[in-house]
Amino acid sequence: MNFRPKLIATDLDGTIVAHYGAISQRTIDVFRKAHAMGIQIFFVTGRPPRWMPEIKDAFGIGSAICGNGAMLYDLQAGLVLEEWLIPVDAQKQAVTKLRASIPGISFAVESHEYFHREKAYVPRWDVGLDNVGVETIEEIMTSPALKLLARCSEQELTSDEMLVIAKRELDGIVTVTHSNPNESLLEISTLGVSKGDTLAKMAGRLGIGAEDCVSFGDNPNDFSMLEWCGRSYAMADGHPEGKNHAKALAPPHTEDGVASIIEELIQLPSRA
């Protein structure tokens, strides 16, 4: 018999946040209802904290795991609670290996309070935050980083093609993934950190096992979370490989797919 989950974890963009930035009232309402029933809510995202105020304002509840698992963030208080950062030497190793294996690649690094990029790196979302840039990213690699970003600004390769190369080249050095097949962009975290690893750690602290956790996601950076949870849903309009990592498919995010599933889950009896 299926029971009501004790923890719901969801990706944001392309999962509960539409690609044009909107969150439906139906989604907000069902997450608030689940939270009021005592279900732990985790927003698990590749976003840095500076992109989280809209989530706090929309929902007013829940905890956050940012940077693809690299940060535990108190969403309501706006405080960084824990971080698992990429050491400087690992950052430099990753850059050296990717430069040699992917022509035309460029880099940026970010933490919760900064974003620095190479001049060749064309930002899509942080325009103005660092509007100068450096010639080579190694110039400003002086401290551990939340995330290393690698982009083919001329889009010679897709994110999926880049990921195949990067996983081979960076094995044992860092964790590499992506969150958008159309951006020619890799997202790199410290070795051993992923959404799934950090969610498992947080659930364990709450005394909740994988069998009582449900997750939702749409792209490769969600796959570890989808694999770990006892029940998980890949978005029907997400990455085509999602179905191979999740236990089931959710309707498209444009049709409130996550909300429709949660509406059913909260009707289930609670586990004794």
Mean pLDDT score, 16-22: 88
Question: What integer pLDDT is reported at residue 111 of this predicted model?
Answer: 86
The CATH number of whichever domain residue 12 belongs to comes to: 3.40.50.1000
Mark whether 65 and 12 lie in a shared domain.
yes
In what helix (H) or strand (E) does residue 183 lie, and over which residues does it extend?
none
Q: Is residue 272 part of a domain?
A: no
Question: What integer pLDDT is reported at residue 198 of this predicted model?
Answer: 98
Indicate the pTM of the whole model: 0.95
Q: Which of 4, 80, 7, 15 is nearest to 234 (CA)?
A: 15
Rg (CA), the chain: 18
Mean pLDDT score, 143-149: 96
Domains held by the chain: number: 2
Mean pLDDT score, 211-225: 98
Mark whether 61 and 138 lie in a shared domain.
no
Mark whether 95 and 223 lie in a shared domain.
no
Pick from 166, 190, 214: which residue ends a domain? 190
Residue identified by tokens 């439906």 is: 24
In what helix (H) or strand (E) does residue 91 lie, and over which residues does it extend?
helix 88-101
In 10 A of CB 199, how many CB atoms? 23
Q: Is residue 174 part of a domain?
A: yes
Mark whether 42 and 71 lie in a shared domain.
yes
Question: What integer pLDDT is reported at residue 70 of this predicted model?
Answer: 98
Pick from 137, 156, 190: which residue ends a domain? 190
Q: CA triplet 160, 166, 169: central angle to 5 degrees? A: 150
Question: What integer pLDDT is reported at residue 128 of this predicted model?
Answer: 57
The CATH number of whichever domain residue 174 belongs to comes to: 3.30.1240.10
Range of the domain at 248: 7-83+194-265
Question: What integer pLDDT is reported at residue 99 of this predicted model?
Answer: 96
